[in-house]
Amino acid sequence: MSSGQRTAIRTIESIQSISRNLLGNAPVCIVTNREPIVYTENQDFKRPAGGVSQVLHALLERLGGVWIASRDSAGPATLMVPSGKGPGYLLERVNIPDSLKKPFYDGYSNGTLWPLFHGNRDQFFHDPGDFIQYDRVNQIFAKKVMDSFRKERPGIVWIHDYQLTRVAHWIRRESTENLPPLAFFCHIPWPNPADFMLLPEWQSVLEGILSHDIVGFQTPLHLDLFFKTVLTLLPEAEVLRENVVQWNGRQIKVVVMPVGIDPQHFRRMAGQTENIVAAKKFLENAGVPTEIPYVISVDRMDYTKGLFERLNILDRFFTIYPQWKEKISFVQIAVPTRSGQRTYKKYQEVLRERIKAFNQKWTTKDWLPLHSIETTLPQTHLSALYKMASGALITSTNDGMNLVAQEFLSCQGNGDGVLFLSCHTGSAFALQDALQIDPYHPVYSARQLNTGLSESFGKKVQRNKVLNRQIEQMNLYGWVFRLFENL
């Protein structure tokens, strides 16, 4: 969205109104692989920090409804998740047999689909048996959804992401009559047709997605690539009109609906005194000096986040602009992920060695250029760290959206922290006024770092005002409103 475009700012009241008009009293049913809460031993709930699950949690606790997800913690199969902000929602938890978990999650979801959809052919791994188990898990999810219909028929079933591409297929196999609308949202990039065809099961995955009534993507690029894939690989498919595909006797609406956050929620957290105190304590414990500014990065330790490319950028930055030595620090919060997979374990080991070598090259007696911290922080602490930072550096090489960009800017508010945003993120499509970098071009990106950090206070603040207006317009409720609009 360019700075010249203006749309109405949606609120929870907007969602409640359109939901009543379209669905009446029928609940919304959300289906994800990951559950939004962790059930603790004292029968309490903890919420994982950040991520799409927390965006959806913020929605459903205010709107009410049903959430179906795989069980990640102890407790009963059905939980009522309370909320002080609304009616709360019912969490129906799917028990996946232990024998299926590894081939479903580590195997097909993250060893096959994840690298392929992100254009990382070198990381692509395929075991034919993994898809069979992946499909069985999707079938288990479909059965859970159908079972929930017997309690109360939802007004819409909204299925999320690459782990669950076949759920709608199995729902339609079970019943073709009196189904509520089935929607799918792809949070990650869609690949080009040549990469997608590397999947031996491409037809099953594609037909699974086309079993929905509405399919949503983060950016126009992802939507265009999906259309090209469908028309290239399914000659019987036909585009009837803009964004409507006819296939197998059904019409499927394909739309762009970038995911957003609740910026006011992040702004409030960032300004709370106790959160600022906790963030300062965290920096002190991590050895980050408070007397010089810092630029923050927050990622999972995943090869799509451009962590090696980030090191190359910082190396060029200090080489070309040595005046910044001892004048700025970079704080990288990179939490290991999927460490049980051989590919990820090796990647993380090599990355740690590269970080060590980088710091050995540039460290001086009283200054460490890069503080790399492998600790999960709650949103309350992160929000204050964002607010206090002089910048945020996002180096993803291929990212569906990247909500850190929106969270950082929201926490900055009227501050002068600069967002350095990779052009290979969905956020770069939505926030075109941001100072963009390209992780594949370290010299150019180093220049952008120098430019942004050297700008006047007024110029930085003015840019952030423009970007925050854009974030308000594409917020969490705008994302959901676009789904309802397309029903």
380: CATH: 3.40.50.2000
Contacts of 434 (CB under 8 A, 6+ apart): 405, 419, 421, 427, 428, 463, 467
Cβ atoms of 260 and 406 within 8 Å: the answer is: yes
Q: Does residue 273 sit in the same domain as residue 213?
A: no
DSSP string, 384-398: HHHHH-SEEEE--SS
List of long-range contacts for 36-41, beta carbons under 8 Å, 24+ apart: 36/67, 36/69, 36/81, 36/91, 37/73, 37/79, 37/81, 37/91, 38/72, 38/73, 39/73, 39/74, 39/75, 39/79, 40/73, 41/74
- Kindly state whether residues 249 and 323 are assigned to the same domain: no
**What number is the average pLDDT over the span 45-54?**
66
Residue 3: is its pLDDT beyond 80? no
Q: Under DSSP, is residue 231 helix (H, G, I), strand (E, B) or coil?
A: helix
Say if 5 falls within a structural domain: no
- For residue 405, is it within any domain? yes
Which 8-state DSSP code applies to residue 11? Answer: -
pLDDT band, residue 423 (cuts 50/70/90): very high
Instruction: Mark whether 55 and 204 lie in a shared domain.
Output: yes
Range of the domain at 418: 263-473
Q: Are residues 278 and 313 in the same domain?
A: yes
Q: What is the DSSP letter of 365?
A: T
Residue type at 161?
A: D
Could you tell me the sign of the dihedral formed by the alpha carbons of 448, 450, 456, 460, in that order? Answer: positive
Residue 4 — very low, low, confident or very high, per pLDDT cuts 50/70/90? very low
Residues 188 and 278 reside in one and the same domain = no
pLDDT number for residue 340: 80
396 has a pLDDT exceeding 90: yes
Q: Are residues 394 and 451 in the same domain?
A: yes
Same domain, 214 and 287: no
Q: Are residues 51 and 130 in the same domain?
A: yes
Start-to-end CA distance of the chain, whole Å, equals: 23
Please give the average per-residue pLDDT across 222-243, as a whole number: 93
Given a cut of 90, whether residue 341 has pLDDT beyond it is no
Contact between 213 and 252 under an 8 Å Cβ cutoff? The reply is: yes
In a domain, residue 314? The reply is: yes
286 and 243, same structural domain? no
Report pLDDT for 312: 98
Is residue 4 a part of any domain in this protein? Answer: no
Q: Look up residue 306 and give its DSSP letter.
A: -
CA–CA separation, 296 and 435 (whole Å): 15
Q: What's the average model confidence in pLDDT over 237-243?
A: 88
Q: What is the pLDDT of residues 58-92, one digit of tens each?
A: 788 888 899 999 998 888 889 888 887 788 899 99
Regarding whether 243 and 309 lie in a shared domain, the answer is: no
- 265-304 pLDDT, tens per residue? 999 999 999 999 999 999 999 999 989 999 999 999 999 9
Is pTM beyond 0.85? Reply is yes
3-state DSSP assignment of residue 406:
helix
What is the count of structural domains for the chain?
2
> Within this chain, do residues 240 and 279 fall inside the same structural domain, yes or no?
no
Token pair belonging to 163 = 């782990």
Per-residue confidence at 443, pLDDT binned at 50, 70, 90? Answer: very high
Q: Is the confidence at residue 239, as pLDDT, over 60?
A: yes
For 165, 188, 217, 225, the CA distances from 192, given in Å and listed in that order, are 17, 13, 14, 6
Same domain assignment for residues 192 and 332: no
Question: What rounded mean pLDDT belongs to the chain?
Answer: 93
Name the E strands within 205-269: 214-217, 238-241, 244-247, 250-256
- Which of these ranges, 21-25, 85-89, 245-249, 415-419, has the smallest mean pLDDT? 85-89
Within-domain flag for 65: yes
pLDDT of residue 6: 56
Mean pLDDT across 354-369 = 97
Phi and psi torsions of 365, nearest 5°? -55, -40
